[in-house]
């Protein structure tokens, strides 16, 4: 189903990074794009630049999302909003767990609940869930993040089963490291953080992820691009660590 068969899109986490790039890409295709994010000032700038319709709200505001979904029939839903509090689960706090579940998972579930039934009824729609390579691969210090992204991955597969028989497509996008400001949001904006995560690396840009999403959306109606894993060429996942029993005694905080 090409872009011409869709009219409206909802993009969360739209004020910067991948979300803003998706808004810009969709607007170039002529879609009416509703951009949701907490940052009113950044959203206003995006709206002025692209002509999108800004909604300054938190994705945890289920009542606000319900009002929006009740007013507009969305043909495309892009669940992009996400947060992280990187730390070992041994050091996790209740607030860390609640925040990640509320933003990364609960909001996605509610938006799908609010919007996908209408897509099914109209026999037309596309859900794009931005998960992460963290939904399939393990690396240290992001335990709750891994859990929420794995849940989004399974939800993406389940949605296709729930909507089976109707022309509702579901695409899971699994980015690796991308050159966005997410690292500054998570770790703090400093030259050290840029050097650790961005500077000197060959990384995909937010626009590259938006182009991949546009590829999936613009595919013929008979084609569902279900899963796309997008990483830097010079990034690989996986690895194996083996510890001796005494390692834990000597260094109880060490990653094993």
**Looking at 3, 6, 26, 145, which residue is catalytic?**
145
Q: Do 57 and 246 meet the contact criterion of CB atoms below 8 Å apart?
A: no
If we measure between CA atoms, which residue out of 85, 181, 173 comes closest to residue 135?
A: 173
**Could you give the 3-state DSSP secondary structure of residue 54?**
strand
Annotation says 6 is catalytic: no
Q: Do 59 and 107 meet the contact criterion of CB atoms below 8 Å apart?
A: yes
> Is the Cα dihedral 204, 52, 44, 107 positive or negative?
negative
Q: How far is CA 229 from CA 103, 106, 177, 224, in A?
A: 22, 23, 11, 15
If we measure between CA atoms, which residue out of 94, 129, 99 comes closest to residue 111?
A: 129
Q: Do 42 and 16 meet the contact criterion of CB atoms below 8 Å apart?
A: yes
CA distance 186 to 99: 13
Residues with active-site annotation: 145
């Amino acid at each position: 189903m090409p872009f011409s068969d869709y009219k409206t899109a909802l993009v969360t986490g739209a004020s910067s990074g991948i979300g803003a790039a998706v808004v810009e890409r969709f607007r170039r295709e002529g879609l009416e794009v509703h951009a949701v994010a907490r940052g009113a000032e950044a959203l206003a700038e995006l709206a002025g630049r692209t002509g999108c319709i800004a909604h300054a709200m938190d994705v945890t505001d289920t009542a606000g999302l319900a009002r929006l979904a009740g007013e507009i029939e969305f043909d495309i839903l892009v669940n992009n909003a996400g947060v992280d509090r990187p730390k070992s689960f041994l050091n996790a706090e209740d607030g860390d767990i609640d925040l990640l579940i509320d933003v990364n998972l609960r909001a996605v579930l509610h938006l799908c609940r609010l919007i996908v039934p209408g897509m099914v009824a109209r026999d037309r729609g596309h859900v794009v869930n931005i998960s992460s390579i963290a939904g399939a691969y393990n690396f240290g210090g992001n335990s709750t993040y891994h859990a929420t992204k794995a849940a989004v991955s399974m939800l993406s597969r389940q949605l296709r089963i729930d909507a089976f028989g109707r022309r509702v497509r579901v695409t899971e996008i699994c980015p690796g490291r991308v050159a966005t400001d997410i690292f500054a949001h998570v770790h703090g904006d400093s030259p050290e953080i840029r050097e650790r995560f961005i500077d000197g690396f060959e990384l995909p840009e937010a626009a590259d992820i938006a182009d991949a999403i546009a590829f999936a959306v613009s595919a013929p109606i008979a084609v569902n691009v279900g899963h796309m894993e997008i990483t830097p060429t010079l990034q690989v996942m996986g690895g194996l660590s083996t510890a001796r029993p005494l390692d834990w005694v000597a260094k109880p905080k060490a990653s094993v």
